Amino acid sequence: MQLQVQKNEGHPADRGHLDKRGKRNMEPVTRRSKGRWYILALISLMYLITYLDRVNISTAAPIISKEFGFDKITMGVIFSAFGWAYALFQVPGGWLGDRFGARNVLTVIVTYWSAMTAATAMASGATSFMVLRFLFGMGEAGAFPGATRAMQLWYPPHERGFVQGVTHSASRLGAAIAPPIVVLIMTALDWRSVFYICGAVGILWSVLWYFAYRNLPEEHALVNEAELKYIRGVDEKGNAKLANVAQKPNVPWSTMLKSPNMWAVMLAYFTYVYCLWIFLSWLPSYLVEFRHFTLLKVGFLASLPLVAGVVGDTVGGLTTDWLLAKTGNIKFARRVVAITGMLGCAVFIVPAALTEDAYVAVYCLTASMFFLECTIGPSWAVPMDIGGEVSGTVSGMMNMAGNFGGALSPIVFGVLVQFGSWQAPFIVAASLLVVGAAIWGFWLDPSASVVEKKIA
């Protein structure tokens, strides 16, 4: 079902322009406005905040562990409490975005999780840390699926890999700047102040989002007719096509859950997020306790892999879109980037674990994170490619499965370190990445819808 939206006629670019004599020429200006890039900046800022909020506890973990006497397994369970909630509430978060629109949904959930971020400062023991991180994860769960639905409506197909790469670059930038910011705040104030300050930043963003964003470009004053035609495409009469969106889309749960392609997407993303959470949870502790860097050095060194991830996100997004434009083959364009990223990460993460030189380990981890993040552009473009008008729900399904891996990863890491070695978790991650690359190569089909029944 298509929803026809009344175009805002008040944009100056739609009312002609002044000629050399100062008189208004009523012929339409063909130059496109750039409203969609303004929206991309807003969404990217939210992605940055999500990762700043979720990894700040990782940098504070050595201080928190010492103050409360937490062992490795306890700290791993605290890390994973976020992951379980984040995974479980992905699909409800995506459904809410599809049903009620990203404007209202993201305003509410960002305000909520920011409050939970601030409340983390009041934790008094292992149980309260776990509960608060779980409640925080519930809120963040709707962020990426809701934003994916928003981006599907604001960008043409050939820009989807790029915008997903840019937004996820911003999220990794948030993770990258977290260690030095957290160390600075803890040095000047204390670890509790970290959570109060991060919570306040999120609440400010939610206010900005509510007043600055609209669910459809047709409703936004910064989008002129030329840009709208670029986003939607044109019909046989040269008019912008209608937004392909139902007012209250119905999710074809049966078709989606019976789709082998849906399960392929979910399992491939599981392997990616499992590996990602090694960097997001245990990296600072690994550098302090196994590689014997000072906390001050860790504030810098722990950021290097995450900065490389920022670059990888954008490179992967640009590459998959470039390949799509050159070949017109969406299957090839998505697959080749994802497979290269996963195998590249596996190649570098093994020597990172086995080398005796601490700095070589950091450099190898930096390279492995770059390749890992190259998979993000194609991974998040696929739900928009195959999810139709319920792409938010499809991306929620993918991210749910992925973050079950993210919830397991810190626990498995803690157990392997406590009863085995610091090298073992990296070898496990590399093995999973090879499995993920195989799923992309032989099972996952980026061109096959998961919401439409196949006609026999």
38-55 pLDDT, tens per residue? 888 998 999 899 888 887
Contact yes or no for 215/91 (Cβ under 8 A):
no
Residue 323 CA: distances (Å) to CA of 317, 334, 444: 10, 8, 18
Q: What is the pLDDT of residue 240?
A: 63
Q: Which amino acid is at 30?
A: T
Averaged pLDDT of the chain? 82
- What mean pLDDT comes out for the span 171-191? 84
Cα 124 to the center of its chain, rounded Å: 30
Residue 267 has pLDDT above 80, yes or no: yes
What percent of the chain has pLDDT above 90?
26
* Nearest C-alpha neighbor of 132 from the set 111, 146, 114, 145: 114
Contact yes or no for 133/82 (Cβ under 8 A):
yes
Which of the given ranges, 256-265, 309-318, 383-392, has the highest pLDDT on average?
256-265
Residue 132 CA: distances (Å) to CA of 91, 195, 284, 407: 21, 12, 21, 15
Residue 441 has pLDDT above 70, yes or no: yes
Residue 192 has pLDDT above 80, yes or no: yes
Q: Which amino acid is at 127?
A: T
Q: What is the pLDDT of residue 22?
A: 46
Rounded-to-integer distance, Cα 145 and Cα 141, Å: 8
Which of the given ranges, 131-140, 157-166, 383-392, has the highest pLDDT on average?
131-140
149 burial class (0-12, 13-18, 19+ CB within 10 angstroms)?
buried
Q: What is the pLDDT of residue 246?
A: 53
Q: What is the pLDDT of residue 333?
A: 92
* Nearest C-alpha neighbor of 436 from the set 415, 405, 414: 405
Confidence at 13, pLDDT banded by 50, 70, 90: very low
Does the predicted model carry a pTM greater than 0.95?
no
Q: What is the pLDDT of residue 26?
A: 46
Rounded-to-integer distance, Cα 165 and Cα 320, Å: 10
Where is pLDDT greater, at 409 or 150?
409
Rounded-to-integer distance, Cα 60 and Cα 183, Å: 8
